[in-house]
Amino acid sequence: MKSVKIFAPATVANLSCGFDVLGCCLDTVGDEMKISLTNSNEVKITKIDGANLPLETHKNVAGVAVEALLASYEKKVGVDIEIYKKIKAGSGIGSSAASSAGAVWAVNHLLENPFTAQELVQFAMEGEKLASGNAHADNVAPALLGGFTLVRSYEPLDVIKLHTPKDLVMTVIHPQIEVKTSDSRSIIKHNVSLKQAIQQWGNVGGLVTGLFTEDYDLIGRSLQDVIIEPLRSILIPEFDTVKKEVIAKGALGCGISGSGPSIFALSKGEQTANIVAEAIQEVYSKTGLDYDIHVSKINSQGVKIID
């Protein structure tokens, strides 16, 4: 029975200006999974450690993602999936994406790569659809491709890997409150002013340029969100204070990770990212809320084999 053990990375989607299209992959935060090919012709979730998630294949994001892959595969195979969950569900750093992306990547690897990265994104999106009702790609794309990714288009799906400046380091705080993705989406307005849309796409252009030219200052100037953040940030305790403090400590930019409640700050260099982490800790230690803080380089590889 062929099997592989993998690291399935956490991801930060949206990156302020790039709602639904931009994302990046973390290096030190993620799940572990063991995926095995079997002769059962079935996809089975055989173990879940660290989270209370459904074992029924069709209710499990990794299960439905792998079933989507196998539906496009010429031969009949079975897959056993063990999930060692470390990313907390509902944290806003791509917990469901890690499981979906990790599972399809590993199965593709065990089958000797019949599918392209683009196809794997499409399969993993089935997991996202199950998790949130919306087949978005801005977490599964960076989990699968690594680094920074752009979803240029959803119809047809067109996912592009951007360049990763080597000194970028992410600090993420996860306040342990529950903000459901569905609630977080319902707070968003269906229409935006053209003026704000122009500001947003100016910043998307600026951020992508900053990544390719390794212009850290431009990356910082472009990390702005005039459309979603003003609405969603009210769901996140102390968001404005955290943002103010981390910018004062030298972070390039700060925003909501995915649909929240996690907050990300992007810095140049680990030293600044650690100072930023301390600043966030100082704000959050006064709230009485539980929280996790992560500091991570950008993972330019995506899902990785471990053992």
181 is catalytic: yes
- In terms of CB distance, is 200 or 259 closer to a second copy? 200
Contact mark string toward a second copy, 148..187, x via CB under 8 A: --xxxxx---x-x-xx------------------------
**Does residue 247 belong to the site contacting a second copy (CB under 8 A)?**
no
| Of 62 and 228, CB closest to a second copy | 228
Between residues 39 and 191, which has the closer beta carbon with respect to a second copy? 191
Binding mask 181-220 for a second copy (x = CB under 8 A): -------xxxxxxxx-xxxxxxxxxxxxx--xx----x--
Cα separation, 60 vs 121, in Å, equals 17
Active site residue 128: yes
Asked if residues 264 and 295 have their Cβ atoms less than 8 Å apart, the reply is no
What's the residue count for the chain? 307
Q: Which helix (H) or strand (E) holds 11?
A: strand 3-13
The one catalytic residue in 181, 229, 238, 245 is 181
Closest CA to 257 of 98, 92, 139, 134: 92
Burial of 193 (C-beta count, 10 Å sphere; 0-12/13-18/19+): exposed
* d(C-alpha 207, C-alpha 164), whole Å: 11
Q: Which of 86, 88, 109, 221 binds a second copy (CB under 8 A)?
A: 221
Check residue 145 for interaction with a second copy (CB under 8 A): no
Q: What is the DSSP string of 72-99?
A: T-SS--EEEEEEE--SPTTSSS-HHHHH
Q: Which is nearer to a second copy, 152 or 180 (CB)?
A: 152
For a second copy, the binding residue among 16, 99, 139, 222 (CB under 8 A) is 222
Compute the distance between CA of residue 123 and CA of residue 69 in angstroms, rounded to an integer.
6
* CB-count exposure of residue 118 (10 Å: 0-12, 13-18, 19+): middle
Give residue 259's identity as a one-letter amino acid code: S
Q: How many residues sit close enough to a second copy to count as binding (CB under 8 A)? A: 42
Closer Cβ to a second copy, 20 or 270, answer by number: 20
Minimum distance, C-beta of residue 187 to a second copy, in the bound complex (Å): 12
| Under rule CB under 8 A, residue 266 binds a second copy | no
**Catalytically active residues, by annotation:** 128, 181
**Residues near a second copy (CB under 8 A):** 17-22, 150-154, 158, 160, 162-163, 188-195, 197-209, 212-213, 218, 221-222, 227
